[in-house]
Amino acid sequence: MPYEPPTHTVERSLRATTGAKVIAGVDEVGRGAWAGPVTVCAAVTGLRRPPAGLTDSKLLTVKRRTELAVVLEKWVTAYALGHASPEEIDELGMTAALRLAAGRALQDLPVRPDAVILDGKHDYLGAPWRVRTVIKGDRSCVAVAAASVIAKVRRDKMMAELGADHADFGFAANAGYPSPVHKAALEERGPTPYHRLSWAYLDALPRWQHLKKARIWADGSVPEIEGQLGFDF
């Protein structure tokens, strides 16, 4: 399916209206997975013409995405990755975990950005960063698209490595997201050390429900976990 290539329109707008010179595009991957970290990439690209075929990582084949990531890692001005572990997700919730991972990525850039273009409509990052949210920014903004591809390829590789000792779960193919293979392995073997134990999938696994972790606010309420998929998705 043809798609419009991403542009520097938002970045040019930020430069003109705020005086920002270093602008990072930020995107995440792993929000809805049952296992593994949530990963955020921050990428600085400047206003150069991007490599051909750049778009949202979800629109690319695995082969094309992997090839493009190699090109992008050399092409971008700078990039950095940040992760929040399953344990941090269970303890903090997804919004706070995303903030933690994004903060780690931004702090690891060699130059502190003056502004951030964040994919989506919700600013989970907040102060002290100057943030512009863009719905479908991973398709329309060059820096966010670059971050999208790098984050996806790097996290997929990480999940394949983590899954080497848990072959039944198929992490190399599903990256910790729900799939028939993943679901069958969970029912039979229970969660691995890489699973998010506050996630709703455990509600449908009577043998393993005792492992579920609940975050409880000071008023005694149990918050909903954002972005998760239940077992019967």
Structure tokens belonging to residue 229 = 């998929």
Cα separation, 11 vs 25, whole angstroms: 9
Cα separation, 6 vs 23, whole angstroms: 15
Three-state SS for 117?
A: strand
> Do residues 39 and 128 make contact, with C-beta atoms less than 8 angstroms apart?
no
120 sits in the region (left: phi over 0; alpha: psi -120 to 50; else beta) called left
Residue 28 among known ligand-binding residues: yes
Residue 123 among known ligand-binding residues: no
Cα separation, 164 vs 154, whole angstroms: 16
Three-state SS for 107?
A: helix
Alpha carbon 7 to its chain's center: 21
CA dist 135 → 90, 140, 141, 211 (Å): 27, 9, 10, 36
**Residue list, annotated binding site for a divalent metal cation:** 27-28, 119
**Residue list, annotated binding site:** 27-28, 119
